[in-house]
Amino acid sequence: EAQVTQNPRYLITVTGKKLTVTCSQNMNHEYMSWYRQDPGLGLRQIYYSMNVEVTDKGDVPEGYKVSRKEKRNFPLILESPSPNQTSLYFCASSHVPGQEKLFFGSGTQLSVL
Amino acid sequence: QKEVEQDPGPLSVPEGAIVSLNCTYSNSAFQYFMWYRQYSRKGPELLMYTYSSGNKEDGRFTAQVDKSSKYISLFIRDSQPSDSATYLCAMSGGRGSSNTGKLIFGQGTTLQVKP
């Protein structure tokens, strides 16, 4: 089954404790991206990757890191999480960077205390 | 001013009604226009996409893009309770543009279709 898999589904952590949210897709997609979703603000792009070893900032990259060492994986790293990073995070992928059809993961609900 | 504006609603309609959802935008470089549907606690799924101006129809759904007015719409005919969800518009510059890779979403409109 074609899918984007995010883990974990829920995560509660404390301020300053480094964490990684994993994202993997099995569709051989070139393009992958991370979003956060907050009430009243909609979906905002954090980082995206056009291909392996190619990443770029979205609209809200501060406090986040990403890497794309393999085509299928695109982890999101929070080196020192803060409470304002409490949010619902989505990973997505697409066959081509025009993004006509994004496949989204099921989301990761992160709470930073 | 946000690049993409979307009324968050909520919008409540009776079953069978025609629903109109809209977004306005400010960046004339946008070429691809998409509508995503998001059920509660799920990831968004692509519903419709349109390149440049014009209409596109798929079953009960029609997407319209008016680039001259920087306005896009999604119409749902014969709405069903299963259409109850949040609808997000999204836009991008598409391949070859200086913004390739960047996708901007509206904040989403929550729709409830009552039986």
Share of chain B above pLDDT 70, in %: 93
Question: Over chain A, what is the mean pLDDT?
Answer: 93
In this structure, are residues B38 and B86 in contact, taking their beta carbons and an 8 Å threshold? yes
In this predicted model, what pLDDT tens digit does every residue of B8-26 receive, in sequence order? 889 999 999 999 999 999 9
Q: Say which residue, A100 or A57, is predicted with more confidence.
A: A57
- Residue A95 confidence (pLDDT) above 90: no
pLDDT band at A84 (very low <50, low <70, confident <90, very high): very high
In this predicted model, what pLDDT tens digit does every residue of B48-101 receive, in sequence order? 988 888 899 999 999 999 999 999 999 999 999 999 999 999 998 766 666 667
- B44 reaches A (C-beta below 8 A): yes
- Cα–Cα dist A107/A111, whole Å: 13
- For A42, A56, B83, B101, B112, the CA distances from A46, given in Å and listed in that order, are 13, 9, 29, 11, 30
Q: Name the minimum distance, in Å, from the CA of A60 to any CA of chain B.
A: 12
- For A2, A47, B95, B101, B106, the CA distances from A68, given in Å and listed in that order, are 20, 11, 20, 15, 27
- Cα–Cα dist A84/A8, whole Å: 19
Tell me the three-class secondary structure of B19-64, residue by residue: EEEEEEECCCCCCEEEEEEECCCCCCEEEEEEECCEEEEECCEEEE
- B1 reaches A (C-beta below 8 A): no
Mutate to test the interface with B, among A100, A101, A109 (most CBs of B within 10 A): A100
Question: Over chain B, what is the mean pLDDT?
Answer: 91
pLDDT of residue B93: 79
B88 vs A42, A48, A107: nearest CB: A42
